[in-house]
């Protein structure tokens, strides 16, 4: 069936309540993510496709995880959360095959042993934070490592399963739009309820005291992105110059363009929930409902 819900979600892990009381100043973002959490709970997706800028990368190819599961741990100031979730290889294979057929450079990425049905891939904040607010919000103590099945056994799974994809900045930006279309088409051929999340933080140069430093383009680019989402005009962001993108040090554009491709196949209405930059990087939250 068509993709049932979408989102733009940040991945700063202090917004997970179990890791920080004050979200390091990002309480507005946390509240918006909790709104997203309710939207996803209402839509009950069986599978969530998450496009992330972090984790595995294959230069010159869009990457897609080719493992049975993902596991990871996030720690902050003496607190930790662990996660161990199933990956959906059926949908991942369908996306991979359609992308190949469309001439999109794409690579399947495995981890550990050669048996994809038994392998577990490490996950980081780019996937774990959105998944936490998409239905995987439970601390699976002792399960957050890739050998959990060998030493501790696997947890009882709850939906949603995940498909993890990652863009390559060495490809033309427009390729990400075409890939988003492929994801939506693969979802249409699937009987299950499928969601898409663009995992995005934005400019990383808001604080002169941070090692990334300050650049005035950080504010300019974040404002342009927020306005584009509000105006349902994501394509306008193709006009951002490479210089401004570099100056602002954004990591969200490529995943957002994938979401645009999804929207071109499945018309969706966006709701912009919030933007803030409480530390050195900007965070936005938006949800997308099928029209």
**Per-domain residue ranges of the chain:** 5-290
Sheet holding 120-122, edge to edge: 79-86, 69-76, 120-122
Find out whether 69 and 86 touch, Cβ atoms under 8 Å. Answer: yes
Residue 165 C-alpha from the chain's centroid: 8
Beta bridge partners of 61: 58
Residue 184 phi/psi, 5-degree rounding, is: -65, -40
Q: What is the CATH number of domain 5-290?
A: 3.40.830.10
Which residues fall within 8 angstroms of residue 171, CB to CB, at 6 or more apart?
A: 60, 61, 62, 105
Per residue of the chain (291 residues), give pLDDT as tens: 899 999 999 999 999 999 999 999 999 999 999 999 999 999 999 999 999 999 999 999 999 999 999 999 999 999 999 999 999 999 999 999 999 999 999 999 999 888 999 999 999 999 999 999 999 999 999 999 999 887 778 888 999 999 999 999 999 999 999 999 999 999 999 999 999 999 999 999 999 999 999 999 999 999 999 999 999 999 999 999 999 999 999 999 999 999 999 999 999 999 999 999 999 999 999 999 999
Find out whether 76 and 19 touch, Cβ atoms under 8 Å. Answer: yes
């Amino acid at each position: 069936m068509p993709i049932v819900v979408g989102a733009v979600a940040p991945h700063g892990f202090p917004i997970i309540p179990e890791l920080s009381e004050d979200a390091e100043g990002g309480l507005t973002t946390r509240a918006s993510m909790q709104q997203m959490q309710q939207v996803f709970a209402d839509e009950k997706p069986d599978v969530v496709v998450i496009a992330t800028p972090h984790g595995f990368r294959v230069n010159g190819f869009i990457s897609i995880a080719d493992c049975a599961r993902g596991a990871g741990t996030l720690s902050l100031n003496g607190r930790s959360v662990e996660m161990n979730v199933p990956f959906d290889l059926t949908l991942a294979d369908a996306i991979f095959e359609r992308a190949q057929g469309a001439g999109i450079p794409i690579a399947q990425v495995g981890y550990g042993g050669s048996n994809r049905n038994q392998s577990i891939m490490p996950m980081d904040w780019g996937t774990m934070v959105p998944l936490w607010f998409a239905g995987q919000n439970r601390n699976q103590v002792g399960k957050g490592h890739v050998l959990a099945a060998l030493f501790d056994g696997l947890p009882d799974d709850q939906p949603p399963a995940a498909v993890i994809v990652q863009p390559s900045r060495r490809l033309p930006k427009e390729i990400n739009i075409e890939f988003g279309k492929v994801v939506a088409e693969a979802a249409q051929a699937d009987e299950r309820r499928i969601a898409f999340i663009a995992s995005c933080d934005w400019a990383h140069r808001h604080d002169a005291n941070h090692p990334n430093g300050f650049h005035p383009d950080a504010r300019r680019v974040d404002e342009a992105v927020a306005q584009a989402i509000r105006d349902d005009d994501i394509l306008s962001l193709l006009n951002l110059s490479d210089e401004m993108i570099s100056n602002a040090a954004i990591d969200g554009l490529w995943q957002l363009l994938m979401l645009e491709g999804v929207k071109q196949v499945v018309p969706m209405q966006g709701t912009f929930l919030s933007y803030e930059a409480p530390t050195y990087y900007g965070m936005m939250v938006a949800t997308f409902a099928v029209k």
